Structure formats: structure tokens, C-alpha cells
Amino acid sequence: MKMSSIPFETTDWSTVPRTDHPGETGRATWRTRQCGDIRVRFVEYSAGYLADHWCQKGHILLCLEGELETELADGRVVALKPGMSYQVADGAMAHRSRTKVPTKLFIVD
């Protein structure tokens, strides 16, 4: 990821429009900013969310509230609690998210 041609600015996430993304179960709500080639998101998952796809995209993800379980294609499951993050490159490891409780994340990809 190369960050270039992005001016300094602040984001009040409460003013960024929400988009809804249904999972296999539950829902995700995204507030998204595009900064050049970089997508920055504040994401909220409902309790009982399960992604409807295996993701191959790279992310830097920080758990803000709740708990996120990330299932990896090799069968491992990684749990993130508030203050924990993960990083993965494009195409490095297929993964999908699920939650038991409402969860808030900050994601850069």
C-alpha cells in the first residue's frame, strides 16, 4: 500500500453515510471514505453476523468494541477483542468474519 496524493483532513465518522451489507446471517453497516486507492471504513457488525463470502483482499483491521472471530481458510479461528488488530496481504489467506456480539471495527484496505 502506497499512500500518495492524500491531503491532510479529518473525518467525523458520524457524518459519513451508512451502507448496509447483509451477511449469510446478520448485517454489516459500513461508513466508507475513499482516499486515493485506499479505502478506509468504520464497520459495525450485528450480533450473529457471518460473512456471506470468503475474502481474499488485504486489510489492516482494528477491533474497537465487541469481539470479532476471523475464520481462516486453513481452519484456524482467530479472535480479536478491543485494542487488537490483524494485518493480511491481498491473496495471502482467505478469511471470513463472524460475531456473537455487536462489534465495531476500523479497517484500512
Q: Is residue 88 situated within a structural domain?
A: yes
Q: Is residue 1 situated within a structural domain?
A: no
Q: Is residue 61 situated within a structural domain?
A: yes
pLDDT at 3: 77
pLDDT at 1 over 80: no
We report the CATH number of the domain holding residue 91 as 2.60.120.10
Q: Is residue 80 situated within a structural domain?
A: yes
Cα–Cα distances in Å, from 15 out to 44, 55, 84? 15, 28, 26
> Which cell goes with 12?
467525523
Q: Is residue 6 situated within a structural domain?
A: no
pLDDT at 75: 95
Domain that holds residue 35: 20-108
- Count how many domains the chain has: 1
Q: Which residue's entry shows cell 476471523?
A: 70
pLDDT at 106 over 90: yes
**What is the sign, positive or negative, of the torsion defined by CA atoms of 96, 3, 41, 102?**
positive
Mean pLDDT of the chain: 95
Q: Please give, one letter per residue, the 3-state secondary structure of the chain.
A: CCCCCCCCCCCCHHHCCEEEEECCECEEEEEEEEECCEEEEEEEECCCCECCCCECCCEEEEEEECCEEEEECCCCEEEECCCCEEEECCCCCCEEEEECCCEEEEEEC
pLDDT at 27 over 70: yes
Instruction: Identify the band that residue 2 occupies on the pLDDT scale cut at 50, 70 and 90.
Output: confident
Q: Is residue 7 situated within a structural domain?
A: no
Q: Is residue 4 situated within a structural domain?
A: no
pLDDT at 14: 96
Query: Tens of pLDDT along 47-87?
Result: 999 999 999 999 999 999 999 999 999 999 999 999 999 99
Q: Is residue 43 situated within a structural domain?
A: yes
pLDDT at 25 over 70: yes
Instruction: Tell me which of 5 and 101 has the higher pLDDT.
Output: 101
